[in-house]
Amino acid sequence: MHRIALSALPLATFLSLFAQGAAAETFRFTAIPDEDQARLVERFSQVADYLEQRLGVEVEYVPVKSYSAAVTAFRNDQVQLAWFGGLSGVQARRLVPGSQALAQGSEDGAFVSYFIAHESTGLERADELPDEIEGMSLTFGSRTSTSGRLMPEHFLRQRFDNANPERLFSRVGYSGDHSRTIALVEAGTYDIGAVNYTVWEAAVEDGRVNTDQVQVVWATPPYPDYNWTLRGDADERFGEGFTEEVRAAFLEMDDPELLATFPREAFIPADNELYAPIEEVAEELGLLR
């Protein structure tokens, strides 16, 4: 096999080879696994196709098994872009200085969590969580989920004099994702669950949940949540202006079917400062390293 001595090549040839090599690099992204994998693969395979057309580079979706694995993949440069929740985005940007939140769903500036309850509890929808939930069993989603753990715990502590959930409830679990939380409460494995409102509403609309067995009993106040975050070295890797091209790709995404898979009406601009309230709550609860 012949080895090419780059130093002997004409400058124009060397630059051409370099440009071809840079163009050949695959742009990889991941997403927190907040639903079952089949739905995630379907959604983000479509996103990969869309980004490939918009950006002119090969794009690959890299599935992960946990929220922490999404953050680790971003930190280790196994992916350059990620669809994070509020907390996982804060964690990732802390670990990779210079990284930027580029876009969020139009609903993500005022996101909410639902507390859902099994019909056997006798709980009904109310303006605040009732005293009767004390002593019941509760499942959060992932331990580092913004809508499935961080903010629900924050609002629980506000309501019950900063009580630790482990003391407030007879049993506390972590289901791993929102779809699993719904299934566990619907089955009566837990009395109460904390879920992302968009996952709940999509499941109800698709007929994937029996609302005779489980229903929403309280909605939290709004908070900022999901975001697309890009590593700070993207322009060096993929060319000057690449960051803005990625941002524009999301802001100009207008395929109703693709947007509906999130589900979001549209994507709007975001920046790191928007998630300062999430960072503050996470610090208070000791969830940031």
211 and 234, same structural domain?
A: no
Asked whether residue 288 is domain-assigned, the answer is: no
| Cβ within 8 Å of residue 73, ≥6 positions away | 30, 62, 64, 79, 82
Are β-strands 227-230 and 100-105 bridged in parallel, bridged antiparallel, or unpaired? Answer: antiparallel
Same domain for 137 and 264, yes or no, is no
24 band by pLDDT with thresholds 50, 70 and 90: low
Q: State the residue range of the domain holding 181.
A: 112-219
Q: Does residue 282 lie within any of the structural domains?
A: no
Q: Are residues 65 and 190 in the same domain?
A: no
- 84 with 156, same domain: the answer is no
Lowest-pLDDT choice from 6-20, 91-105, 197-211? 6-20
- Is there a contact between 250 and 83 (Cβ–Cβ < 8 Å)? no
Examine residue 289 and state whether it is found in any structural domain, yes or no: no
In this structure, are 137 and 273 located in the same domain? Answer: no
Please report which confidence band the pLDDT of residue 2 belongs to, taking 50, 70 and 90 as the band edges: very low
- 289 has pLDDT over 90: no
Q: What is the mean pLDDT of the chain?
A: 91
> For residue 121, is pLDDT > 90?
yes
Q: Give domain status of residue 283, yes or no.
A: no
Q: What is the CATH number of the domain that holds 40?
A: 3.40.190.10
Looking at the structure, tell me whether residues 197 and 60 fall in a common domain.
no
Average pLDDT (83-98) is 96
Question: pLDDT band at residue 71, thresholds of 50, 70 and 90?
Answer: very high
Q: What integer is the mean pLDDT of 119-141?
A: 96
The count of structural domains within the chain is: 2
Higher pLDDT, 23 or 156: 156
Q: Are residues 78 and 117 in the same domain?
A: no
